[in-house]
């Protein structure tokens, strides 16, 4: 069974540009989460989808971040325009059972 995949693995962009991160969850997992770790900090929750609906987006830092989940399958996280403080590792996770979340390898975003 394929795990959670994320694309790209690394992205380097300039301040003010737009970046879109993609997450493909494990097939059949209704729950999809985005988390991120910025330099030196702890992993923080961003938002939670149940199928195509946003269940909780309380962790989204501001309106420069937009997450979508098309048809309840893959999800994208767009940052527009990117700022320096957005640099970090963005993780996606999916689950059927809430406490047992399967994480992808993460996308390392560097904003210069």
- The answer to the question of residue 27 lying near other proteins (CB under 8 A) is no
| Nearer residue to other proteins within complex by CB, 12 or 43 | 43
Smallest distance from the beta carbon of 16 to other proteins, in angstroms? 28
Q: How many CB atoms neighbour CB 68 within 10 A?
A: 13
| 100 lines the binding site for other proteins (CB under 8 A) | yes
Residue carrying the six token digits 């940052």 = 79
Is 104 a binding residue for other proteins by CB under 8 A? The answer is yes
Instruction: Find the binding residues for other proteins in span 36-95 (CB under 8 A).
Output: 42-45, 48, 55-56, 58-59, 91-93, 95
The site for other proteins (CB under 8 A) is made up of 4, 31, 33, 35, 42-45, 48, 55-56, 58-59, 91-93, 95, 98-106
């Amino acid at each position: 069974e394929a795990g959670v995949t994320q694309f790209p693995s690394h992205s380097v962009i300039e301040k003010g540009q737009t970046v879109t991160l993609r997450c493909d969850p494990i097939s059949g997992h209704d729950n999809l989460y985005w988390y991120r770790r910025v330099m030196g900090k702890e992993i923080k929750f961003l938002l939670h989808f149940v199928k195509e609906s946003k269940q909780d987006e309380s962790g989204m830092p501001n309106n420069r971040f937009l997450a979508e989940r098309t048809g309840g399958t893959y999800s994208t996280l767009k940052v527009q325009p990117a700022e320096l403080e957005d640099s970090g590792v963005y993780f996606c996770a999916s689950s059927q059972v809430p406490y047992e979340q399967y994480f992808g390898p993460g996308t390392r975003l560097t904003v210069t």
